[in-house]
Structure 1
Amino acid sequence: MKYKTTSGIEIKEVYTEPKDLRELPGEFPFTRGIRKDMYRGKLWTMRQYAGFSTAAESNKRYHYLLKQGTTGLSVAFDLPTQIGYDSSHSLSEGEVGKVGVAIDSLQDMEELFDGIDLEKITTSMTINATASILLAMYIARAKKQGADLKKISGTIQNDILKEYAARGTYIYPPKPSMRLITDVFEYCSREVPKWNTISISGYHIREAGSTAVQELAFTLANGKAYLKAALEKGLDINIFAKRLSFFFNCHNNFFEEIGKFRAARRMWATLTKELGATDEKAQMLRFHTQTGGSTLTAQQPLNNVVRVSTQALAAVLGGTQSLHTNGYDEAFSLPTEDAAKLALRTQQIIALETGVTDTVDPLAGSYFVESLTDEIEKAAWKYIEKIDALGGAVAAIESGYIQNEIASSAYEYQTAVESGDQKIVGVNSFKELGETQFELFRVSDSIREHQIKKLENLKASRNNEEVAGALGALKVASQTSDNLMPHIIHAVECYATLGEISDTLRAEFGEY
């Protein structure tokens, strides 16, 4: 019998060859970590991904999480917000406030962060097609608080390529979408220099069914495409690359995940250097990790506490800069407050009670981990070479290559589960009859009526001539090569809605 990782890398019975470890943490190519002292100097940011219902309700959850010790906020947006529809749009029915918070205008953003000092907290926003609009709203909210924009920090996902490949919340065709992304790069490099302008996301690639190696390869290939697009716009890689971050998944194969994170840093350092980065901070891969949503089971859901714990530990041993741990009940619904608190406590216990933060790279020199890191890197480079031969990530997505590779891996995995070759406790091993009963979190359909009423009141009270002027200016700018961010911010500050701004761009760019 052969033992393999989930990516098909064969595992030897024993590893006996030592590896030269003269490479130190904080030094190129950063395999062992991006800082010399890692968690001795600063723990990872403990985020809990949250957002549901109205801005006011989500604001209550954020204040709850901050009181429980979370050190950064992570905003989930509902599906209409993600694809540029106001809550009043006919396609929004049944989806308002369900998988995240409904944000229709700056008014909602003001409520979302009520009582939260944006200069003192970092905020991550999982938003892609409408990332420029939500960032504009965040900037406008910060300005209203009197915050220094040079000091506010956080991240927008802003990764449209993986939407075409794995997730589906795109609006415009690839080229205008890439324009919006590079406009954000350019604007923030001048005006909001501490903001991470993209979180290049392997998370959703993995959730769609990829292997760990594919997640790594396709994510870095997308990253390479963003680097090239920014360089073509004339941006300085030593400036904008410092504000690029990554977002990875962490699944159950403990050592493979650790090797993946170590290989990712090494590969990105090589890629950025090849494209002209000379500043070490522009060569560093900084990443957020979320535990694997698709690994959670509805059967015996308390088993998910163990899965999340081991995944979180792998992310920490792999050197993550930020971490979200899933609630054990997320196979059923958004997490309850108790499930979210337990997920946060999991991170706190790893940080404060296990001792794994006491040394920089605890698994350095493990023959197995070092060999696995090398094998994962080698397999990922093969994919990147194939993508380069196809003309890069955009061309590989347009041809369907990346989508087909992910679908094939998803099929193979599901087949293995159904045959019993891939064991999942509670699903095809150690099954129990009956269902576990516990409290679930529910979001009412009445949220849409509330949001529609708010929109009606907003449109009756705002200066609609100003709104029309701002949207007209955005339309004209979209027909030129002007940076669109100042126009989007102006429209937001006039209380133009997310849907109105998205529709203005739809009219010019088309839909994909």
Structure 2
Amino acid sequence: MSGTTRSGIPLADVYTAADVTAEPAPPGTAPYTRGISPGGYNDRMWVMGQYGGFGSAAETNARFKRLLDQGQTGFSVALDLPTQLGLDSDDPRALGEVGRVGVPIDSLADFETLFDGIPLSQVKQIRTTANSIGPLWVALVTAFAEKRGTDPNDIAIFIQNDVLKEYVARGTQIFPPEAGLRMAADVVEHTAAHLPNWTPMALSSYHIRESGADAAQEVSMTLSNTVAYLDEVVRRGVDIDQFADKLFMFLSAGMDLLEEVAKFRAARTAWSRLLESRYHAGADARALQIFSYTAGSSLTAQSPHTNIVRVTIEALAAVLGGVQTLNTSSYDEALGTPTLESVTLALRTQQVLAEETSLAKVADPLGGSYVVESLTGQILARVEADMDVIAEHGGALRCIESGWFAERLSQQAYEDQQNVESGARRVLGVNCFIDDSTIEVPAFSVDPSAEEQQRKRIAQTRADRDQSEVDVALDEVRRAARHGENCIGSITAAVRVYATVGEIYGVLREVHGPYTAHTGLG
């Protein structure tokens, strides 16, 4: 035997036709193992986007314009931690975090600055990390489009809006899980009725993988979260075929090239089977769209230029796996916020794959490979078996509330780190081929005065608005939340009169209460 994949699947020295159970259906045919369109990228090129946001809305606006000029076709707005947690920049709990890992958005005024001069209807995809604040992002885009005289449905909006993974993999949850789930479902329900061109949710396995899951668990835990969301939306009377075809799965692209390609193929198959067997969905809803981001956890601060090679291999895995949207990490991300130069190089990596190779000319280039077909089948079997285990534990919501998901990922992350420290898993520059030479990588830094300037901006916004209008709007947010109504309409009304993020989510905290983490003790 030749060892195992990163996830522990045994590898043979040689694969033959005997290792493949059956030839999968052609691309564009259910269960979509080989891709969701017959011609692959000949039918539609993947969207090339980069994740960005820092300092202030004005600075981020300038970077977005520069990247669009460089050929980027979509972008993902990185929000700073206070914004993701529903806090204003002048909240004491936001001290030291404003503008550090993303752009602060305190109100519609910041949103107007962020997208000033950007032709939104011409950008193929505009994504955001809004999860706990997914409803707020709907409100911001809607209010902004209205002020511009634009139909918000004409803007290609892609909202992550997957709050369940926050409780186990990222930590920006605001409310107890059940309330978070309902608000995420509000977004899906609202967009199905009013904004059918939007992507209201990206089912985010990426963060689950980054937190310790193996390739199969990355998919199985995410599909189990998916069941919770779909069940809630369908329970409200929304037809599955009215919205499921707009959803994406957000998968990691890691270093184990063959396993990762197989994982993308297995994920599409598992999705198609689930949507058919549980929800009796039509063909369009069963064709899974995939957004992928190269694995940030694979990047090292040591020998950082080696990360350029890592990102290239991971991007190759995503393209060979047939994703619809791809973000590539910047080689300096392990050191801090990426520089403009490193972000541009990450974009160039995708452009080289698209323009200077023949990868985009063939659908499912590795289809028929004995090893890839074998790994696809094995990962699929593991995914579906693990979903059964999660169901036996009460489903995703119960596994989150009990802490079982978090404990599972913590243990696996610990074991993986032990493998790195023992040398069982080799990482160049960390535990093998260590280069003692010093490579200077220019560090990007946020202007230290940016936080104070943002506080001044939010104070000015409060001074310029009609406070009586804000008070009335916040009362309506409170009333709607207490009565269990869909929250999007009331939040949008509050955003229109320049209520702040912290004010809106402060009212919602009054109703839903704060999240208290399960400690696993006692």
TM-score by length of 1: 0.98
Picking from 161, 166, 169, the partner of 1:166 is: 169
Task: Tell me how far apart the structure 2 counterparts of residues 399 and 41 of structure 1 sit (CA, whole Å).
Answer: 45
Alignment-derived partner of residue 97 in structure 1: 99
Q: Which residue of 2 aligns with 1:23?
A: 25
Q: Which amino acid aligns with 2:481?
A: S
Task: Name 2:113's counterpart in structure 1.
Answer: 111
Structure 1 runs (4+) greater than 6 angstroms displaced: none
**Which string of whole-angstrom CA distances, capped at 9 and with x for unpartnered residues, describes residues 100-152 of structure 1?**
00000000000000111222222001111111112211121122222223322
Aligned partners of 2:175 and 2:425: how far apart in 1? 39
Which segment is superposed worse, 81-90 or 387-396? Answer: 387-396
**Superposed counterparts of 1:75-474, under 5 Å:** 75-121=77-123, 122-474=125-477
Match of 2:519 in 1: none
Which of the residues 49, 52, 58 maps onto 1:50?
52
Q: Which residue number in structure 2 is paired with residue 8 of structure 1? A: 8
Deviations 1:1-45 (A, max 9, x none): 651111111011111126443611111100000111110121100
Conservation of the 8 A alpha-carbon contact between 1:133 and 1:488: yes
**Residue matched to 2:518:** none
For residues 231-274 of structure 1, what are the alpha-carbon distances to aligned partners after superposition, in whole Å with 9 as ceiling and x for unaligned? 11221111121221111111100011000000000000011111
Q: Would the aligned equivalents of 1:133 and 1:489 in 2 still touch at CA under 8 Å?
A: yes
Does residue 511 (structure 1) correspond to residue 514 (structure 2)? The answer is yes
Contact 1:157/1:198, CA 8 A, preserved across alignment: yes
Name 1:34's counterpart in structure 2. Answer: 36
Q: Return the letter of the residue paired with 2:64.
A: Y
Counterpart of 1:284, as a letter, is A
Between the aligned partners of 2:262 and 2:147, the Cα distance in structure 1 is 44
For 1:63, the equivalent position in structure 2 comes to 65
Q: Distance in 2 between matches of 1:63 and 1:172?
A: 35
The superposition leaves residues 436-455 of structure 1 with CA deviations (integer Å, 9 ceiling, x where unpaired) of 21211001332111111111
In structure 1, list runs of 5 or more residues that go unmatched. Answer: none
For residues 448 and 338 of structure 2, what CA distance do their matches in structure 1 show? Answer: 18
> SS at the partner of 1:308?
helix
TM-score, normalised with respect to structure 2: 0.96
Secondary structure of 2:361's match? Answer: coil
Call closer, same or farther: CA 1:197–1:503 in 2, change over 3 Å.
same
> Paired residues, what number?
512
User: Which of the numbers 478, 486, 490 marks the counterpart of 1:487?
Assistant: 490
Q: Distance in 2 between matches of 1:504 and 1:342?
A: 43
Separation in 2, partners of 1:230, 1:180: 11
Q: Alpha carbon RMSD of aligned pairs, Å?
A: 1.1
String of CA shifts for 1:262-290, please: whole Å, max 9, x gaps.
Answer: 00000000111112233211111111100
SS at the partner of 1:323?
strand
Q: Secondary structure at the match of 1:470?
A: helix
Provide the C-alpha distance between the structure 1 equivalents of 2:500 and 2:7, rounded to a whole number of angstroms. Answer: 44
In 2, Cα distance between the equivalents of 1:463 and 1:34?
50
